[in-house]
Amino acid sequence: MARPPRAVFVTLAVMLVLPIALTGSTGAQAVPGRSQSDTTAPLVLPPAKTEGVAPTAAGIKAALSAAFSDPSLGPHHGVYVYDASRAKPLLSLNATTPYVPASTMKLLTTVSALETLGADHTFTTKAVSGAKGSVTLVGGGDPLLALRPGPSTDFPQRATLQELAAGTAKALKAQGVTGVTLGYDASLFTGPAANANWEPNYLTEGIAARTSALWINEGRLSNGMAKRAPSPALAAATAFSGLLKKAGIKVTSAPKPVVAPSSATELAQVKSPTLGDIVEYINLHSDNDGAEVLLRQVGIATGNGGSYTGGVKGLRATLTKLGIDMSKATIYDGSGLSRSNHVPLEVLAGAVRMAVATPGLRHLLSGLPIAGFSGSLEDRFAGAGAGPGTGLVRAKTGTLTGVHSLAGYVRDRTGTLLVFAVATDSAPPAKALAARAALDRITAALANCGCSGP
């Protein structure tokens, strides 16, 4: 289906809208080096105003009413809208009871990670030696550590096991060592590797991995949503052993789990991309495994330990400290895979609201999928009534059977920045596509709205 003409100008629209959303500027600025009297070409779209016309709850409700009443959404669906330009709640429809968030849960996990660790934080994987002739591969909880046969153009650029093995072999040879025993240390994370609140088929079907502080390719044994290693740490160590052998270092025994002594000498290390880049990747691609690793990193950073239960405690404490009311939220994981999660729409929107207001959290905004163009929204917003949102709505998606949600931000036609969360957790499974299309129309209506009616 051809997209509406408005999509032709998406590049200009994004250029006009996003810098204001991300910088929070309060006034227009002249272009450096250009006279205000210079003759310029007419604008295809008018520039977005800093605040725009003040929308009203009645105006927003009227704009959303047709899509919001779609029967495919089921009996339990709601929407929450916040006027970020004026820092005030605007509309709450059927939003008083919590919803199963599905993958919009990742907004809470990633904003907590940014708040506790900082956007520039990196995770280190290293090889150490406790005694001559012994090497231990130590996991630092890098969610994107990769085993790659060659250079990659992926964003972000990942640390690789090949690079670590090459550095380790070089250091060993400099010491005159050509044969070693190999251990691996994944003790940074504690507790069960698999979340007890997930469906059992998540692990067997490759939907999720057993979370580990040491893994490669998120525990995958092949590309795509594929079978995961029963022990991701052992799989990583086995691959590392093979790389050392190729580099001329003989490994004299099979890798064994150990805890590296604090006095061990570092041989080599590789660092992950920055946390800001990792957050963008996780939200853009709805990466379940990356979110689960960050949940445990939040637990460690807040002093609650590296288990998923410790991570949830740290997440709740962090969001509460940010001023988000968590009293009605029930949370069991960081990815949203658990159907036992129940989160108010105001809390989901609150993560976005805090990112709009807080410079250190802005990677949450810049990584959100763009309607009709990127990530998990690439194939959305093509249906009737959704065109006004194409290229303008930025939101995290959430999908489980019967559950569909969107949470993000958009500027309306007058320039007002609106933060929103919309969800259903009662959609008939046979109406999944229709329910998603209704959510697209709801958020597109916000993009197309002046909404200053009575």
Q: Give me the active site residues, please.
A: 103, 106, 286
Residues with Cβ within 8 Å of residue 43, at least 6 apart in sequence? none
Q: Give the residue from 106, 104, 147, 103 showing the smallest Cα distance to 125.
A: 147
Provide the β-strand partners of residue 409: 394, 419
Determine if residue 297 is left, alpha or beta; phi over 0 gives left, psi from -120 to 50 gives alpha, anything else beta: alpha
421, 406 in Cβ contact below 8 A?
Answer: yes
Q: Give the residue from 356, 379, 377 showing the smallest Cα distance to 17.
A: 356
Strand stretches in 220-264, DSSP E: 250-251, 256-257
**What would the two tokens of residue 20 be?**
């204001």
Provide the β-strand partners of residue 138: 126, 185
221 phi and psi angles, rounded to 5 deg: -90, -15
Q: How far is 277 from 319, CA to CA, in rounded Å?
A: 21
* Counts of helices then strands in the chain (DSSP H, E): 12, 11
- H or E element: which one contains 14? helix 10-23
Provide the β-strand partners of residue 266: 128
**What would the two tokens of residue 114 be?**
């940014």
How far, CA to CA in Å, does 137 sit from each of 225, 254, 416?
A: 26, 13, 51
Strand stretches in 168-295, DSSP E: 179-185, 250-251, 256-257, 265-271
